[in-house]
Amino acid sequence: MQSLSAETVTASGQNLPQLAHPRNPGMALDLDWVASVQANTSAIERRCATLGGRRSVKKDYQAAWLLKAISLIDLTTLSGDDTKGRVQRLCAKARQPVRPDMLAALGMEGLTVGAVCVYHDMVETAVRALEGTHIPVAAVSTGFPAGLSPWHLRVQEIRESVAAGAREIDIVISRRHVLTQNWQALYDEMREMRAACGEAHVKAILATGELGTLRNVARASLICMMAGADFIKTSTGKEGVNATLPVSLTMIRAIRDYQDRTGYKVGYKPAGGISKAKDALLYLALMKDELGHPWLQPDLFRFGASSLLGDIERQLEHHLTGHYSAANRHAMG
C-alpha cells in the first residue's frame, strides 16, 4: 500500500462541499446489461481472504491512513433512545474527532469527519450543532431500516429531511424487488427517490445481508446506479449480516464497470460492523487497489460507523506514546 502525504490527508479532512467530478445523472434501464452481470463467489472470497496478508502498513504510514479513515467516517447515531443532547455531543465529536493535543502532535489540526448521520427527527438539531463547518448532515429516510412504510410517506420523508437541512439522504431499497428480480420496479422506485432528493445526494442502502447472493448484490448495485444513486451502501446496520469484504468487492467492481460504461463516478459506503481500526485499513486497501486514489476522498467513500472512531483514536495514541489507553479517554462527546 502506498503511503499518504500529510497534504492529502489534510485536504480530505477539510470536507469541502464541491465535487471533483460530475454527479451521476443515471441512465435508461438496460436489462440486457443487468442480465449479463454475474458474481464468482469463490473467486471473490479468495481475493478478500488474501487481502490482509498482502496489504499492511506500519508506524507513520499507518497513522496517516488512520487519519484518512477519520475524514471518511459518517459519524452515526440511529438508536430508538436518541435525544437532542446525544446528537449535539455527536456533532461536537464530529467537529473535534481526536483530542486536540494528539492532532497537534500529528500536525493535523482542523481534521473533521465526513458527515453526521441521524434519523429525520434529529436533522435540525444536527444542522444547528454543525453551523460554521463544512460537515454535512445525512438523514436516513424512506422508512429506515425496513423500507416498508407506505410509498407516499417514504417520498415525503425524503422531502422533509431535505427541507430540514439534510445534504445527504440514505434511502433503503425494497428488498423484495431484488429477491423477485423485479428490476423495473426497483429502478422506478430508486429514480423517484433520487428526484425527491433534489440537490441532496442520495445513498442507496441495499441491505446486502438480506439479498441472498452476491449476484443479487451486483445486479441491485447496477440498477441503483442506473437510476441515479450518488452512492451505493451495504447495510442499514440493523441486519444480521452487514458490511463484509466479499460484498464490498462485489459492489466496488459494479462501480468500476458503471464508470467504464458511462464515465460517471459513484461513491461507496460500507456500514455496520466496522468497529476496529484494522478493519478500516483493509477497506481502504481494497478501495485503493480496485478503484484508485479518487475513491479515497469523502465525496466517493464513507464509513458508516460510530465505535470505529474510538478505536482509531486509541491506535493513534499508541502511535504517539507507545501505550494503549482506556476507551474512556476518547469519549464520543
Cα Rg of the chain, angstroms: 19
Strand partners, 118: 139
Question: Do the beta carbons of residue 267 and residue 301 sit within 8 Å?
Answer: yes
Please give the backbone phi and psi of residue 137, each rounded to the nearest 5 degrees, phi first.
-100, 130
For 228, the 3-state DSSP assignment is coil
Cβ-based neighbours of 332, under 8 Å, separated by 6 or more: 89, 90, 93, 306, 309, 310
Q: Would strands 137-140 and 267-269 be described as parallel, antiparallel, or unpaired?
A: unpaired
- Which position among 74, 233, 265, 279 bears the catalytic label? 233
Distance, in Å, from the CA atom of 12 to the CA atom of 199, rounded to the nearest integer, reads 22
Q: Which three cell numbers stand for residue 237?
A: 446496520
- Which position among 265, 269, 299, 311 bears the catalytic label? 269
Cβ-based neighbours of 221, under 8 Å, separated by 6 or more: 206, 232, 250, 251, 254, 255
Please give the backbone phi and psi of residue 303, each rounded to the nearest 5 degrees, phi first.
-100, 130
For 78, the 3-state DSSP assignment is coil
Distance, in Å, from the CA atom of 169 to the CA atom of 65, rounded to the nearest integer, reads 27
Largest Cα–Cα distance in the chain? 57
Q: What is the 3-state secondary structure (H, E, C) of 169-216?
A: EEEECCHHHHHCCCHHHHHHHHHHHHHHHCCCEEEEECCHHHCCCHHH
Question: Do the beta carbons of residue 219 and residue 258 sit within 8 Å?
Answer: no
Question: Do the beta carbons of residue 316 and residue 329 sit within 8 Å?
Answer: no
- Which position among 74, 170, 279, 311 bears the catalytic label? 170
269 is catalytic: yes
Q: Which residues are catalytic?
A: 170, 233, 269
